[in-house]
Homo-oligomer: A and B are copies of this chain.
């Protein structure tokens, strides 16, 4: 039995998780992903003020879920929760009592200002939940994978490639070369130090069954998808944002990563090594043409004020449409459960098809 099947007994292999997209992945989405045999992550982010409410809603949804109800009174809530560590110690202190009272199956740690934060969260969570809550940590380079494994010995390393939507390292490789190199480095490190190797999951540019199959061929035990779940019926986002996701194509030239969108939105707390990937829009084009940030910000603020839930997103507008470079593969809205089950089954089919091609 793999550690993933042991730690998330309702789950099916390969494990499919949603990225804990801040205030987009809420209880409805999260529970549906777990309900379909994946591991759903709540996108709590940097602010725990709504976490208690989210946990109550999650518990209620878990009880109603066919596949999960038998886990409703178990030791752990069959979902995970994602946190942004740059938020600092206040977030950890506000979170710990809630984790202790209702241990989730996992927490996902991301974007520390210093590695000591990841270590502190890991130790404190394991202690508060008596090791019931497993530690997932997201990294984007080989160097980060080694540092995090050494310092924190997480249960799961999420290795994110450069194609990911939303926040990620400003500079990095795609998952295709990054995953095998990180895997080899972590394997060697764990062997030399006598550490248990964490389970490795792949993220960044994985949108459907072919991407999942490819990640498994690289050696991943599971995958994380963000952008694909933006096109789920349970994603908590404006209709206009979701429509812009469905409309976008050819993300290599129609999305980019940078800090402009964060600066326009006033989201300036992220460590400087991160930037957000989003659909290129009027803000981006104006910036490229040399418009001053002040004027660009003014136009952005006007666009926000005039937005009505359906308008304001996409290529010819200004509201930020965070999305990965695989956004062109998000083509219809489905339930988060349907997405989870579909990509898992497609992946097995594509692996089989690819393997059979070489029987001669």
Contacts and interface: CB of A to CB of B under 8 A. Distances in A.
Interface of A: 13-14, 140-143, 161-163, 169, 171-181, 184, 204-208, 210-211, 213-219, 249-253, 256, 324-326, 328-329, 348, 350-352, 354-355, 357-358, 360
A259 B41 CA distance: 40
Given A210-B217, A213-B217, A329 B250 contact: no
Given A251-B177, A252-B162, A256-B171, A217 B219 contact: no
A256 B206 CA distance: 22
Given A142-B328, A210-B217, A177 B205 contact: yes
A172 B252 contact: yes
B360 A252 contact: no
Contacts of A253: 141, 143, 169, 171-172
Nearest to A255: B173
Q: How many copies does the complex hold?
A: 2
B207 A218 contact: no
A204, A205, A215 pick with most chain B CB within 10 angstroms: A205
A208 B219 CA distance: 12
Given A175-B174, A216-B357, A218-B214, A143 B351 contact: no
A14, A174, A218, A355 pick with most chain B CB within 10 angstroms: A174
A325 B177 contact: yes
Contacts of A179: 210
B351 A177 contact: no
A249 to B, nearest CB: 6
B354 A216 contact: yes
A253 to B, nearest CB: 5
Contact of A357 (B13, B180, B214): B13
Contacts of A214: 176, 214-215, 217-218
Given A171-B256, A252-B171, A253-B141, A213 B354 contact: yes
A148 to B, nearest CB: 14
B141 A252 contact: yes
B171 A326 contact: no
19 contacts: A14-B358, A141-B250, A141-B253, A142-B328, A163-B176, A172-B253, A173-B252, A174-B176, A174-B204, A175-B176, A176-B176, A177-B205, A177-B329, A180-B211, A181-B250, A181-B329, A216-B354, A348-B355, A352-B355
